[in-house]
Structure 1
């Protein structure tokens, strides 16, 4: 079964974390466009159902620069860091067993694109948070990132919204050393949140940052985000801190050290980095 638009489901009355961790995973369908095996499930615990994404380790495609079988753990580690910062950028993500073996399970994000609307509503065209526009047009409230050609050879420009929710994600990507922040990995939830997904190739100790969110390059990081980063640095400096202990179950000591160094660097410089000279943007960007 290919998932396009999913039926509405009951909204749980309790926190969904217990269901994600302990509930039975009932497979609803799969997302065929994903490079790794990605299944849509309902996590069912008693009377609570929570829609989620399940990526079993056995379905991961091997990569030359990331150890095989580590992508699910990197997704969980990325969530733990987002949660420790208090930014709620990454949906709740856990590592657990499932119908196809151990893997990561992440809360599903309802968006205008994956949630059915009443039949009386007509679709309204609007720019996504990351989008392509005609080459001579940068909409108000957007930042230009890259000029390119679309599949038929017409000039276009890659843009992203000048949105503080997206800026926070851009800062997190630097901390995570995200090697694959594509426009399709940015979701605007119906709840008003902006969420990042697909963090399987993050947290390498070598510099691998590739992102479409370069609009704030060289600019001052907002003070409130710097304060949160400073707190993260303190947590990572304590070997017995619960965050450090949890991270050690998913990434290596060298990767935790590199994570701390990136956070320290941002706090000290107080500005966003500039794009590197080689492959600063994942391709394709969506």
Structure 2
């Protein structure tokens, strides 16, 4: 696959306009993905960037999600993340492309591993060290177990709140993209917004703990937006009315409890493979 183009930083509005109206040129395929994921360049009125294009036609059917809806869910996740004001999901649009309608998302160049802060780790200890939160024990080799931990990072904590809101069924370590400028993005949000509880994530370290004051404020604004703001008009184009009602109910439940959710026990709490 060709290297991503080096592009200057741009506003979210400019990125969305570029992704929506630009000419898509397929440059390669990301073969590790379970669905068709095409690496593209997009150009519009002198602006150019790298992006990911996931055509609906390349989606594999899932038993617990309606066929041909993963692209819309990715866009809905972006819309909700932007409404929350945390810029946790790269600019994402729904558009026509070389292989039909699909999701188009700005390519994010992750920081090199040797310079990025460590977000996940396996440690040989019973309790996490300062600055880390426990996820659970994992078998690593020859029957040996190690403690899986994630960083006690405010960016991850915001992402944990977003995942609880959108009911993310697949928050893996590989879906976390820290950048050289200190931003953290989450990607791959196709299996979200199910009306049933499907939350599967590596970010359980705050389970049962009180939400931050910031999160409570953000959730309050989001509840209003879902009832009478732009999201109330936009999301019915992307998810069903039943799923929208469940989204509102999850936000209300988070505000009522004032706490991060804990695993329900009715669904595997951690995605597999975890990274």
TM category (shorter chain) comes to over 0.9
Task: Give the direction of change, closer, same or farther, for the CA distance of 1:59–1:216 in structure 2 (3 Å limit).
Answer: same
Residues 1:160 and 2:150 are matched in the alignment: yes
TM-score (norm 2): 0.93
Structure 1: give runs of 5+ residues left out of the alignment: 114-122
- The alpha-carbon deviation at position 128 of structure 1 amounts to 3.0
Distance 1:52 1:261, change over 3 A: same
1:103-156 deviations in Å (ceiling 9; x for gaps): 00111111124xxxxxxxxx7387631233345684541112111122665422
Q: Structure 1 length normalisation: TM-score?
A: 0.89
Aligned ranges for residues 73-222 of structure 1 at < 5 Å?
A: 73-113=72-112, 124=114, 128-135=118-125, 138-150=128-140, 153-222=143-212
Change (3 A) 1:136 1:126: farther
Q: Secondary structure at the match of 2:54?
A: strand
Where 2:71 maps in the other structure, the secondary structure is helix
Indicate the SS of the match to 1:248: helix
Equivalenced residues, count: 272
Residues 55-70 of structure 1 aligned to structure 2 (within 5 Å): 55-70=54-69
Q: Which moved more, 1:35-44 or 1:70-79?
A: 35-44
- Is 189-198 or 204-213 further displaced after alignment? 189-198
Residues of 1 paired with 2:253 and 2:58: CA distance?
Answer: 35
Distance 2:10 2:190 in 1: 30
Q: Is the 8 A contact 1:187 1:196 kept in 2?
A: yes
1:23 aligns with 2:22: yes
Task: Write the distance in 1 (CA, Å) between the matches of 2:70 and 2:10.
Answer: 31
1:73-104: CA deviations, max 9, x gaps? 00000110011111111111100011111100
Cα separation, partners in 2 of 1:72 and 1:7, compared to 1, 3 Å = closer
TM-superposed deviation, 1:8:
4.5
Q: Distance in 1 between matches of 2:37 and 2:46?
A: 25
**2:37 is matched with which residue?**
38
Specify the alignment match of 1:275 in structure 2. Answer: 263
Q: Corresponding residue for 2:233?
A: 245
Q: Secondary structure of 2:93's match? A: strand
Unaligned runs of 5+ in 2: none
Counterparts in 2 of 1:133 and 1:87: CA distance versus 1, 3 Å:
same
Matched residue, 1:10: 7
Corresponding position: 1:258 with 2:255: no
Query: For the residues of structure 2 that align with 1:275 and 1:138, how far apart are their CA atoms?
Result: 19
